[in-house]
A and B are shown apart, each in its own frame.
Chain A
Amino acid sequence: MKIQLKPQDYAVNRPPIWCPGCGDYGILEALRRALAELSVPNHEVVVVSGIGCSSQLPHFMKTYGIHGIHGRAVAIATGVKLANPKLKVVVVGGDGDGYGIGLNHMIHAARRNVGLTYIVSNNQVYGLTTGQMSPTTLRGVKTKTTPFGAIDEPVNPLALALAAGATFVARGFSGDVAHLTTVIKKALTHRGFALVDVLSPCVTFNKINTYDWFRARVYKLEESGHDPSSYYEAYKRALEWPTLDPYGKIPIGIFYATEDKPTYEEEWVKLLGGAPIDQKLQLDPAEVLKAFQ
C-alpha cells in the first residue's frame, strides 16, 4: 500500500539559507510538491548537487543526498543511478555548475539517456561567489567580471540538450511554482534523462533578470499549441530564447518528451542480468579463471 505523502514530509527542521526572495525557494517547494504528489518514499530518493547557492538544496530535503564538488553532480548521480536504478535520482545545481564547469557531463548524460531528473536553477549569474558573469548571462549585461558589459554569447542549454539527444527537455519559472511542479512531476516520471531549466531570479546579484522581467516575457508552451513529441518543433522553440531574441518572449513548459529510447541503466541491467547493487559478491574462481584458458 502506498502512503500518500505531503510536501512537508520531505522537509527537514533546518530552514534554507538562501537570501529572502531567492528563486531557489520556488524550486525547493516545487520539488517537494512533485515528490509528494508521486509519493516517492523518502529513502528511495537521492538528491545530488554540485557547488553554488542552489546546490545547497539537498540539505533541505529529507532524502538521501550528495552535495558534491563543482560541476560534477551529473557524473556522481550517473554512478548512483547505474549502481541502483531503483532509486529516484534528482540532480540540482546552478547555471555555472551545470552549463559552465560541468557542461560536458550534461551533454554525455543526455546522449546516454541516464535516468536522472536534472533541475538547473538558472539565475544567469554566479551568486555564491558574489556576482560574476555566468554562462547564461546575456550579452551586454554588467556584472562584477563584466564591468563594461558581457561580450560572451550565452549558452542555450535547451538547444544543447536537444542536440545531445536528451529525451525530456523543459523549462520552468521559479515565480510560478504550480506550473513548475507539474513540469518537475513529469520529469520525475520520465523514462530517461530529463532536463528542467528553471528561470530562477537572483535577487541580490542580478538586477536585470528579475521576477518582473521574466513575468513580462514567459509564455506557456502547452497553451500555444506546441507538440512536445516533435523534435524539430522543440528545437525551434528552444532557439527562441535567448539565441534568436535575448529580450523577447520566453517559452516555458515541456519542449520535448519521448520515451522510445532505452535508458543507460536499463541497458546495463540487461547486460548484467540485474543491477550492480543486486549482484552476488562472491564469485566462482573457476569461472574467473576461464578467461585465462
Chain B
Amino acid sequence: MDLTIRISGAQGEGVETVGRLLAKSFAQLGYHVFAYRQYGSIIKGNPTMFYQVRVSDEKIYSHGTWRSYDVLVALNDKALQAHRGGAKHVISESEIPFTEIAVKHGDRIMRNTAALGALAALIGMELTPIEGVIRREFGERGEKIAEANIAVLRAAYDAALKRLGSVYEVKRVGEPRVLMSGAEALAVGAVMSGMKFYAAYPMTPASPILHWLAEWGPKFGVAVVQPEDEIAAINMAIGAAYAGVRAAVGTSGGGFDLMHEAFGLAAMIETPLVVFLAQRGGPSTGLPTETEQSDLLMALSPSHGEYPHAVIAPRWIEEGLYATAKAFNIAEKYQVPVIVLVDLYFTESLATVEFDPHRFKIERGELLQGPLVWEEYKRYKITESGVSPRALPGTPGGMHIATSDEHDERGDVITDTHQPAIRKAMHQKRMVKLTKIVEEMEPPMIQEGDVVALAWGSTAMPLLDYAKGRKVGLALFRDLYPLSVDGWAQRLNEAKEVVAVELNYRGQFAEYLASKGVKVTRRVLKWWGEPFSIDELGEWL
C-alpha cells in the first residue's frame, strides 16, 4: 500500500492538527509515514495551505508526488478549487457537512475533526488509533474537549461511511513506529550526544529544534536559553563549550549571517561548537516558510579568514539523529565548529524512524584531567594532528588564555609585534586539522546508473523514492566539507550523464564539485519554495 492524502484549508482552520493526528495514527498502526506541510508566513489566512501525509507498508523517504494524490480533504472552497484537480477522491463540505456535524456534536471549531472522521471512513481506517491520539493530544487541555472531538469524529465517520463507503482498507501492519520531525531528530540526536547547552533565537525553520529542547531538554540536563539575538546565542554557546559542556546553536540563514564572526572565534580559539543551520528561501527575509538549499556556499566559508570547520548535511530524517552525533564528535575531537546543514523540508517534515541507541558514541577528544604544571602547559601546542590537549576551567594548573588574536602555543597574543614565524606555524597548525577531519568524511551513497542524479542533504529524500525500482543512478552526499574525494569521483566522471539536483538557482553543489574536478553534465534546479517531488523528477531527469 502506498497512500497519499492531502489536507488543505486556511491557516487557523486546523489543517496542521488534522495532518499531525493522521500521521501519528498511521505510525501507531505500524506504517511508514512521511508528512509535509506547505504554508505561508501568516498566522491566520492563506486558504490553500496543505498538509500531505503519505503512508506505505514499505520504507519511504518523502512526501511523494506533487500533482497527484489519492485523497484530498478540503476544508474550504478555495482549497477545494486549488487542489481537487490532482485528487482521485475528494472529501469536502459538499460531500460531508463538516460544519453541521461539528456544531451538532461539539463545536464549530471541530470542523477539522469532522473532516478527519470522514477521511477515516473513506480510507477504511478504524477510529481506535485516532481516538487514542486525540485523547493524548487534547487530553491535556481537558477531557471534555477530547470527548467532544471524538463525538464529532464518530458522527462524521458514520455519515461518510453511509454516503461514500470505504475505498481502501487500512489495517494494522506492525508495531507502532516512532514518528518525529527532522527538527526533533536533530534535537534528540543532540541530547543523546550529551549536549548540555543550547542557545537559539527564534527563526523559521530552526525554531522547532528550540521548541522540542525547551520542553524536553531540562529533563536531560540541558540548559536551553533564548537570548537577545543570534550573536548572543553563538557567543554564549562558545562560552559554555569553553567551560567544558557540549554546546550548540540553531538558526536559519539570516540568523547565521549574524553568527559568522563568532563562528570564526570558535575556530580560532579551538573551541568545539555545533551549529544547526536550517535553510529557507533567501536572500534577506526571502521565503520565511518555504524550503531552499541556497546556503551551501555560505556554509562552506561563513566567517572571514581561513579556518578549519566541517559541514554535514543529513540526507533523510532518521539520519538527522546520527549525523548530529557525528557533528558533536568531530567538533570535540578536532576542537572546531561544525555545521549541520538542513532545510525547512527537513526540519518541518515528519517521518517514522528507526531509533538505534547504539549509534551514539560520545568521543570527547583530548581532554586533560588535572592537575597540570602551569609553567609547562601549552593550550595550543603544535602537534602532528593540529589538535592540542584541552584543559577546562577549574583544572588546577591549566590556566591559559584563549584569544581571537593570533597567538603562540601558550595562547599569548603575538600581534603587538610582527611575528611571521609564529603566525606561520599556528595558522598551519589549525588548518592541518582539515587533513585529519577529511579522513572521517564518508563518501556519497552511490547507486550505479547511466544517468546519475547527484544531490546533497534533504533532496536525497525524494530522489531515493524516485529511484526505487528505476534504473537511475544516484550519488547522495552528506559529508560536504571537507570533501573526501576518492574513487567515487572517477566513477561519476565515467557516467554518461551526471545531473545535479538542487533547490537553488546556481547549482551551488555542482559549482563546488567542479572545483574538485567532478563534472556535472546537467542541472535540475528549483528555487520557488517547494521540495522536489517524484513526479517532477520523472519528467526532469
Contacts and interface: CB of A to CB of B under 8 A. Distances in A.
Nearest to A286: B357
Interface string A274-293: 10110111110101110110
Contact of B236 (A69, A79, A292): A79
A41 B396 contact: yes
Interface residues of B, number: 64
A67 B402 contact: yes
B416 A17 contact: yes
Contacts of A107: 228
Contact of B404 (A68, A75, A79, A279): A68
A86 interface: yes
Interface string B400-427: 1111110000001100100000000000
B188 A288 contact: yes
Contacts of B240: 79-80, 82-83, 276
Contacts of A68: 235, 238, 265, 269, 404
A67 B401 contact: yes
B400 A65 contact: yes
A87 B244 CA distance: 12
B228 A64 contact: no
A77 interface: yes
B300 interface: no
Interface of B: 178-180, 184, 188, 191-192, 194, 196-197, 199, 212, 215-216, 218-223, 225, 227-229, 231-232, 235-247, 261-262, 265, 269, 355, 357, 362, 370, 374, 393-405, 412-413, 416
A64 B398 contact: yes
19 contacts: A43-B394, A62-B374, A67-B402, A67-B403, A68-B238, A69-B235, A72-B265, A79-B238, A79-B247, A80-B242, A84-B394, A271-B218, A274-B221, A277-B243, A277-B244, A279-B196, A279-B221, A285-B192, A289-B178
Interface string A57-92: 011001111111100100111111111101100000
Contacts of B216: 288, 291
A289 B393 contact: no
Contacts of A287: 219-220
Contacts of A69: 235, 261-262, 265, 404
A58 B413 CA distance: 10
> Could you say which of B269, B357, B404 has the most chain A C-beta atoms within 10 Å of its C-beta?
B404
Interface string A254-278: 0000000000000010011110110
A43 B196 CA distance: 22
Given A65-B402, A69-B262, A83-B239, A75 B232 contact: yes
Contacts of A46: 242-243, 393
Nearest to A285: B357
B376 to A, nearest CB: 14
Nearest to A274: B221
Contacts of B237: 79
Among all A-B residue pairs, the 6 with the closest Cβ atoms: A79-B239, A279-B221, A281-B194, A75-B235, A285-B357, A79-B236
A42 interface: yes
Contacts of A271: 218, 223
A44 interface: yes
Contacts of B412: 14, 59
Give the residue among B194, B199, B239 with the most A Cβ atoms within 10 A.
B239
B404 A288 contact: no
A289 B236 CA distance: 28
Nearest to A75: B235
Given A87-B394, A288-B188, A273 B221 contact: yes
Nearest to A281: B194
A78 B269 CA distance: 17
Nearest to B188: A288
A48 interface: yes
A272 B269 CA distance: 29
Contact of A63 (B188, B261, B399): B399
Nearest to A77: B239
Contact of B229 (A78, A86, A104): A104
Contacts of B228: 104-105, 107-108
Given A271-B218, A291-B212, A43 B397 contact: yes
Given A281-B362, A288-B188, A64 B239 contact: no
A113 interface: no
A111 B246 CA distance: 26
A58 B242 CA distance: 15
A67 B413 contact: yes
Contacts of B395: 43
Given A79-B238, A279-B222, 14 more contacts: A46-B242, A67-B402, A68-B404, A76-B235, A76-B238, A78-B239, A80-B240, A80-B243, A82-B240, A83-B240, A273-B221, A274-B221, A277-B245, A291-B188
A77 B405 CA distance: 18
B15 to A, nearest CB: 22
A105 B197 contact: no
A51 interface: yes
Nearest to B374: A62
A280 B245 CA distance: 11
Interface in A26-45: 41-44
Contacts of A117: none
A56 interface: yes
A83 B244 contact: yes
B239 A75 contact: yes
A64 B399 contact: yes
Nearest to A84: B243
A293 B232 CA distance: 34
A169 B396 CA distance: 32
Contact of B227 (A17, A63, A108): A108
Contact of B393 (A64, A280, A281): A64
A274 B221 CA distance: 8
